[in-house]
Amino acid sequence: MAQHVYGVDLGTSNIKMYSLANDVTLNEKNVIAIKNKNEIFKFGDFAFEMYEKAPGNINVTFPVKFGVIADIQNMEALFGCFYKKINSGKAVNGADFCIAVPTDVTEVEKRAFYDVIMDAKIKAKKIVVVEKPIADAVGVGIDVNSPNGHLLVNIGADTTEITVISMGGIVISKLIKTGGMKLDEAIAGCIRKKFNLIIGSRSAETVKKELADAMNEQADKTSVTYGRNIVTGLPNAQEINGDLVHEAIDELLHQIIENIKVILERTPPELSADIISKGIYLTGGSANIKNICKLITKETGLKVNVAEEPSETVINGIAKILSSPELMKLTYVPREKEYE
C-alpha cells in the first residue's frame, strides 16, 4: 500500500481521521462555519465553539445528519480542511483511504461517503470502504473472522446502530434515529416544560454529561444551567436535578433497548448462543451514560461489555485494519453498478 494511507470515520457529531504513516488520530467536531455563504471561516472544534452563538452572516452547520451525509458540498470542504490539518498544512496527493460506512442505509447514501473523498481536491489514489459495524468490532478487539456471533450496539450522536456480525460479515443490522442529540433535545424539552426555560443544545449536553443516569441512582444530584425565561424574556439560571434528567431520557433509552430485543428475536439460534456467552458490546459516545450497562442487562438478561474509548472504536478499528493485510480483506471498492 502507499506510504500515505488514511482511515476516515465521518460521524454526525465528530470526524475522525487516522494517518498510518504518522500513527496519529485527529478527532474533532464535524462542524463547519461558512461566512458570507461561500467563505470557510472556521471548522472542527473552533467552529463548534460558535454553534448557536454566530452572527447572521456566519452559518454554522453539521454536514452529516442521522449518520448520512446531508450536505455533500460542505462535507467535501470540511474533509479537505481536516486532511490538510492531519498533514500539518501540507497538500498530500496520491494517498489511499479507507472510509467507514453505515450498514442499514441506502446504496446511494453509502456512495456519498465514497464520493466525498473522490470529489475532494486531493487526488486520492485508491479508496476502499468498510462497514462501520465491522470496523467497530475490530476496534473493540473482536476476532471478526471467527464463526462466532457478536452483537454490537453503537449509540452515536443521531443514530443507534444494532448489528449482529459473524465470519467478517453482517448477519442482521438495524439503524434507528435515536442517539445522544435526541437525548439532549429531550432534556431541553423537559426543562422548558417544567421551568419555562429555553436552553441551547450545548447546555443540554452539559446537563446530560453531569446528571444522566440510566438507573436514576443519582436523582438528588444537581447542576445549574443557564437559558432564557419564556415568560420574562430575560436570562435566567436554574438548578436541575438528576431525577428530571432521568425522566427526560428514560423513554428514549427504552426505545434503544426494545430495538435490541427485536434484533435478538431475529438472530439465528446458533448465533444467539454465542451472544449469550459473550454478551453485548456497547460503543459510541452515549455508552458513557452512567449505568446504561446495568439498564441493558436488567432488560435483556445479557452482560454488557463497554469499550475503553467507546466513541473511538470505529477509527481504532480502521487503524488496525490498515495495519493488517489479513484484515484489509474486510474492505471493498464500491462498483458503480451497485449504485445505479
- pTM (2 d.p.): 0.93
Phi, psi for 29 (deg, rounded to 5): -65, 140
Question: Tell me, what's the pLDDT at 335?
Answer: 67
Candidates 313, 282, 256, 202; CA nearest to 210 is: 202
Reported as a pLDDT band with limits 50, 70 and 90, residue 340 is very low
Other CB atoms closer than 10 Å to residue 335's CB: what's the count?
8
Alpha-carbon distance of 316 to 324, in angstroms, equals: 13
60-88: pLDDT as tens digits: 999 999 999 999 999 999 999 999 999 99
* Domain extent listing, the chain: 5-135+314-339
What residues contact residue 266 under an 8 Å CB cut-off, 6+ apart?
Answer: 172
Say which CATH architecture domain 5-135+314-339 belongs to: 2-Layer Sandwich (3.30)
Alpha-carbon distance of 219 to 242, in angstroms, equals: 4
Reported as a pLDDT band with limits 50, 70 and 90, residue 104 is confident
Is 30 a residue whose pLDDT tops 60? yes
Specify the DSSP element, H or E, that contains 7: strand 5-10
270-320: pLDDT as tens digits: 999 999 999 999 999 999 999 999 999 999 999 999 988 999 999 999 999
Alpha-carbon distance of 264 to 258, in angstroms, equals: 10
